[in-house]
Amino acid sequence: MTPLLLILAIAVPAAAGLLVLLLPSRRAPWAPAALAALTCAFELVLAVYIFPHDFAFTWPWMGFGAEFAVKLSRFSAFILLGIATFSFLVTAYSAVSMAKAPSSRRFHAWVLFTVALSAGAVLADNLILFLVFWEGLLLTLFAMIAAEKTRPFATAVKAFVIVGLTDLALMFGVMLTGHLAGTMSMSAIRLPLDGLGAVAFLLLMIGAMGKAGAMPFHSWIPDAAVDAPLPFMALLPGSLEKLLGIYFLARVSLDLFILTPASWVSTVLMGIGAATILLAVLMALVQRDYKKLLAYHAISQVGYMILGIGTALPVGIVGGLFHMVNNAIYKSSLFLSAGAVEKEAGTTDLRELGGLGRSMPITTICFLIAAASISGVPPFNGFFSKELVYDGALERGWIFYAIALAGSFFTAASFLKLGHAAFFGKPANAKRTVKEAPWPMLLPMIVLAGLCIVFGVANSLPLERLIQPVLGTAMKGAHGGTFAGFPTNMLLVGLTAGVLALAVANHAFGVHRTGRGIGAVDHIHHAPGLSSVYKLQATGALDPYRMLGGIVGVASRGLYALDRAIDWVYSGLAAQSALAVSWVLRKAHNGNVNRYVLWALAGAVAVVLAVLAVTGGGR
C-alpha cells in the first residue's frame, strides 16, 4: 500500500473545494452541497481504509528544516477518522439545511478546504508544515463566518483576531521547540519541561487552546453562534476545532514534551481547564437563545478535556481524549437539533419556543439523548468520560474535582432549562404550526444520538480500539489494563448521581417559583453577588477581546504620538532652526560698509586667536 494515500486525504478535499468554487451554481444549486457530501464520504472511506496502517512520507520542501513530512500514527488515524465522520455528517445535513441559501457554494467550498487543512494538520509530521495547515484554518474559519455577505463581518474579524493571536503564540512556540530540539520533525522531538522548554510548552498550549476555544480565547464563539450558519457551528466550534485543539494539546503533552504530574505546568493546565468549565457554564446557564446556550457549553466542555489531559495521569488523559470524542458527538448533535428547530420554528429564541416535543418528536428524542449525555447521565457516553476525568482530577487535588463537579451541576441545570423551554411546556406561539424536520436533517442527528448510546454502553469499543492505543502500552488502567467498563470508584459515581438529583431538584424549584421552564434558573441568575457579575458581562466589559482592543488602542495612540514627535524634529525643529539661522545671517548682511569692515576685523581677530590657541600661545 502506498503512502500516497495520505496525500490523497489532503489533496482530494482541496481539489473538490476548488471545483465547487468553479461550479456554475445558478444552473445546479444543489451541486456544491452534493459534491461536498460526496467528498467527505470519500474521506471517511479513506480514513477507515488507512486506519490500521502506519505510513510515513517525506518530501523535500523549502529547506531550513521545513520538509513536507506526513505520518499516520495511531493518534492521527483516530483523529482523521473523527474529522471525516463529522464533516460527512454535517455536509449531509447542510446539503438540505443550506440548499437554498445563496452562500451555499462558498460555504461548501470552505468546508472542503477546512477538511483538507484539518487532515493536513493532523497528518503533518513536521512542525512548520503543521503550522502552515493549522494557520491556514484561520482563513477558512474567517471565510465561513463571513460567508453570509457583510453582516457578520465584525464577528469574523473578532474570530480571526483572537485565533490569530493564539496562532502567533503557537508560531513562537514552534520556533522555540524547533530551536531547543534541533529538529522540526515532530516524531523526533522529546523535550524536558524546564526553563525555555516550559515557555515553549505554554506557547504551544495557547495555540491548542485557542483552536479548541478554551477561556480566555472563547468570546468569538457565542457571537458566531448568532451570526454564522448553523452547520458551521456544528462543524467547527462543535467538533473539528475541538478535535484538532485537543489532538495537538495531547500531542504536545504526550509526545513533544515530557509532562509529569509533578510539573507546575500540569497544574496550570488543570487550573485553566477548571476555570473554563465553571465560568463558561455559568454563562451558558443564563442564556435565552438556543444557539448561544450551546455555544457556551461548547466552551465549557473543553475545560473537561484540558483538565483531564492536564492531570498527566493515564486515567485523566484517556478521559480527556474520550471526552473529546464524546463531546464532538453530542455537541454536533445538539447544534444540529438547534438547526432543525430554527428551520421549522423560525427562531431559536427560547422565549418564543415551547411545546415542540409533540410536533418534532424525533428531534426531541435526539435532543434528550444528547442532553443526557452532556449532563453525564449513565449509561450515555458523557458519563463515562467524565468519570474518568473526575478520577484523575481527584487524584491531583480535591479542588479541581469539586469545580468539575459543580460544572456538572450547572450543565445539567441549563439543559433541563433548555429542554423544558423548547420542547415541553406550552407553545409560546399557538398559531404557528411546526412540522418535523426533513429526513436528511434528521438522519445525522439520529446517527449521532445512536453513537452517544453505543459509545456509552459499549465503551470498550472507542476506548480499547481508538484511545488506549494512542497512549501505548506504558499506561495501564486500573483493572486489567483497560479503562473500559463501568467506573470502579463507586464514591465518584454516587457523588455524580447526587449532583444530578440536585440539578433536578433545583429545576423543580425554579419552575415552581416562576411557573415557566425558561425561568428555571432565575434564582441563580438574580442571586446576590452573581447578578452584578452577569450584568457586567452583558455589557461586554468582561470580554477579553474588548480588553485587548482597549490596551491596543491606548498603546497605539502613544506610539503615534512618538511618531509625530519624531516628525516634528524634521518638519518643525529643523525647518525652524534653518529659518532662524538665515534670519540671523540676513540681519548681519545689511549692506552697510562699516558693518562689513567690522565683521572682517572680528574675523581676523578670531583667526589669529584660533591659531594662537592651536599652536599653544606665545612661546
Partner 1 sequence: MADRRAIATAARLYFVYATRIVDARAARSTGRGRELPFLRLRFPGDPAIIRRRAKGASLGRVGRRAVDGVWKEHERRNCASRGGVCPPGGGVPTGAVIILFSFDYIAHYENQNEYYTMAVVFLGAMMGLVFSSNLVYLYVFWEITGIASWRLIGFYRGKTDVLKADKAFLMTALGALVMLIGILAIHGLTGTFDLGAMKGTALPLGISALLLVGLLSKSATLPFQTWLPDAGVAPSPVTALLHAAVLVKIGVYVFARLFLSTFVFDEALRTIVASIAGASALVSAGAALVETDFKRIVAYSTVSQIGFIFLGLAMGNALGAAGALLYILMHGLAKAGLFLSAGIVEQNAGTKEITKLGGLMRSMPWTAVAFLLCAFSVMGIPPFGGFFSKYMVISAAVKADEMVFGAVFLAGALLTILYLFRLFTKVFLGEPHGVLAPEKSRLMVACVVLLAALSLVGGLAVGWPSELARVAISQMLGVAG
The residues binding partner 1 (CB under 8 A) are: 61-64, 128, 131-133, 135-136, 138-139, 150, 153-154, 157, 160-161, 164-165, 168-169, 171-172, 175-176, 178-179, 196, 552-553, 555-560, 562-563, 566-567, 569-571
User: Which C-beta is closer to partner 1: that of 122 or that of 518?
Assistant: 122
Which helix (H) or strand (E) segment holds residue 71: the answer is strand 66-71
Which helix (H) or strand (E) segment holds residue 239: the answer is none
> Minimum Å distance from CB 547 to partner 1?
14
Residue 142 makes CB contacts below 8 A (sequence gap 6+) with 156, 157, 159, 160
- 3-15: burial string, b at 16+ Cβ within 10 Å, e else: bebbbbbbebbbe
> Minimum Å distance from CB 562 to partner 1?
5
User: Which C-beta is closer to partner 1: that of 165 or that of 402?
Assistant: 165
φ, ψ of residue 131 in degrees (nearest 5): -60, -40
User: Which C-beta is closer to partner 1: that of 38 or that of 157?
Assistant: 157
Is 404 within 8 Å of 390 (Cβ atoms)? Answer: yes
Give the position of cell 503550522.
131
CA angle (295 as vertex; 292, 301 as ends), nearest 5: 145
Residue 330 makes CB contacts below 8 A (sequence gap 6+) with 369, 370, 371, 373, 374, 380, 381, 382, 448, 452
User: Which C-beta is closer to partner 1: that of 178 or that of 316?
Assistant: 178
Instruction: Report the residue count for the chain.
Output: 619
> Minimum Å distance from CB 546 to partner 1?
14
> Minimum Å distance from CB 571 to partner 1?
7
Is 511 within 8 Å of 519 (Cβ atoms)? Answer: yes
User: Which C-beta is closer to partner 1: that of 65 or that of 485?
Assistant: 65
Is 103 within 8 Å of 232 (Cβ atoms)? Answer: no
Q: CB burial class (10 A; 0-12, 13-18, 19+) of residue 574?
A: exposed
CA angle (205 as vertex; 201, 206 as ends), nearest 5: 120
Cα 617 versus chain centre, distance? 82
Dihedral (Cα; 409, 414, 416, 420), 10-degree rounding? 170
CA distance linking residue 4 with residue 515, whole number of Å: 62
Strands 66-71 and 56-63: antiparallel
Instruction: Give strand pairing partners of 258.
Output: 192
> Minimum Å distance from CB 122 to partner 1?
16
> Minimum Å distance from CB 504 to partner 1?
46
User: Which C-beta is closer to partner 1: that of 180 or that of 457?
Assistant: 180
Which helix (H) or strand (E) segment holds residue 36: the answer is helix 31-50
Residue 150 makes CB contacts below 8 A (sequence gap 6+) with none
User: Which C-beta is closer to partner 1: that of 176 or that of 324?
Assistant: 176
> Minimum Å distance from CB 500 to partner 1?
44
CA distance linking residue 286 with residue 458, whole number of Å: 35
Instruction: Give strand pairing partners of 70.
Output: 57, 124
User: Which C-beta is closer to partner 1: that of 59 or that of 439?
Assistant: 59
Cα 518 versus chain centre, distance? 28
> Minimum Å distance from CB 576 to partner 1?
14
> Minimum Å distance from CB 497 to partner 1?
47
User: Which C-beta is closer to partner 1: that of 6 or that of 163?
Assistant: 163
User: Which C-beta is closer to partner 1: that of 264 or that of 570?
Assistant: 570
User: Which C-beta is closer to partner 1: that of 67 or that of 289?
Assistant: 67
> Minimum Å distance from CB 177 to partner 1?
10
Give the position of cell 512618538.
562
> Minimum Å distance from CB 5 to partner 1?
22
> Minimum Å distance from CB 515 to partner 1?
44
User: Which C-beta is closer to partner 1: that of 131 or that of 467?
Assistant: 131
Closest by Cα among 565, 356, 370, 548 to 450 = 370
User: Which C-beta is closer to partner 1: that of 127 or that of 286?
Assistant: 127
User: Which C-beta is closer to partner 1: that of 558 or that of 603?
Assistant: 558
> Minimum Å distance from CB 114 to partner 1?
14
CA distance linking residue 93 with residue 202, whole number of Å: 37
> Minimum Å distance from CB 43 to partner 1?
20
Closest by Cα among 280, 497, 284 to 390 = 497
Residue 337 makes CB contacts below 8 A (sequence gap 6+) with 363, 366, 367, 370, 445
